[in-house]
């Protein structure tokens, strides 16, 4: 099995995973934000691909310095990063909201807590598919649309009188 065929299969699996992830819109508990298990399975699947690439690298006749060697090492690095990021997001990202405010924790920015009165505005970024809550201290909380409970959070926030502004995609053309 050559590296290119593995890369094509991996790409197809990730496209399928993204479609599945986008279709999951469960809400289990009011006032809670978390990722469902699909994110954990993406992380575990990425680790599986890392193991496959490492196995292929050591059992094939690939020589150090060849194109296939560098491709395999690159895939190992990329899927390792994807696995770590997915598993950290699944395990650590969580939040709660109620009539007093919102508390949200991520592995990337730590824990943030705001009263509803301290949130200045909400922006929806259609490019990144997330909601950004701006605090009066200039800090931001970003909520992915894939987060379970985010739809209820947005409904609750708009019910509190906050408006959502949608940012438009940039129409600038990139030239090389």
What is the architecture of the domain spanning 94-167? Roll (2.30)
Sketch the domain layout of the chain as residue ranges.
3-92, 94-167
pLDDT tens per residue, range 110-127: 999 999 999 999 999 988
Burial of 95 (0-12, 13-18, 19+ CB in 10 A): buried
pLDDT tens sequence for the chain (176 residues): 577 777 777 887 777 667 666 655 555 568 899 988 888 888 998 999 899 888 888 887 777 778 878 888 898 999 999 999 999 999 999 999 999 999 999 999 999 999 999 999 999 998 888 999 999 999 999 999 888 899 899 999 998 888 888 886 545 554 44
Cβ(89)–Cβ(148) under 8 Å? no
């Amino acid at each position: 099995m050559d590296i290119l065929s593995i890369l094509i299969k991996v790409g197809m699996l990730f496209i399928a995973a993204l479609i599945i992830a986008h279709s999951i819109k469960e809400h289990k508990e009011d006032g809670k934000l978390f990722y469902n298990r699909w994110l954990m399975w993406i992380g575990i699947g990425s680790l599986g691909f890392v193991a496959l690439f490492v196995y292929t690298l050591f059992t094939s006749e690939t020589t150090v310095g060849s194109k296939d060697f560098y491709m395999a090492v690159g895939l190992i690095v990329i899927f390792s990063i994807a696995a770590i990021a997915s598993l950290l997001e699944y395990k650590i990202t969580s939040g709660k909201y109620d009539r007093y405010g919102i508390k949200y924790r991520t592995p990337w920015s730590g824990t943030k807590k705001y009263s509803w009165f301290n949130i200045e505005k909400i922006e929806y970024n259609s490019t990144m598919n997330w909601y950004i809550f701006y605090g009066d201290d200039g800090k931001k909380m970003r909520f992915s649309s894939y987060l379970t409970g985010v739809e209820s959070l947005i409904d609750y926030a708009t019910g509190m009188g906050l408006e959502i502004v949608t940012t438009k995609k940039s129409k600038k053309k990139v030239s090389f």
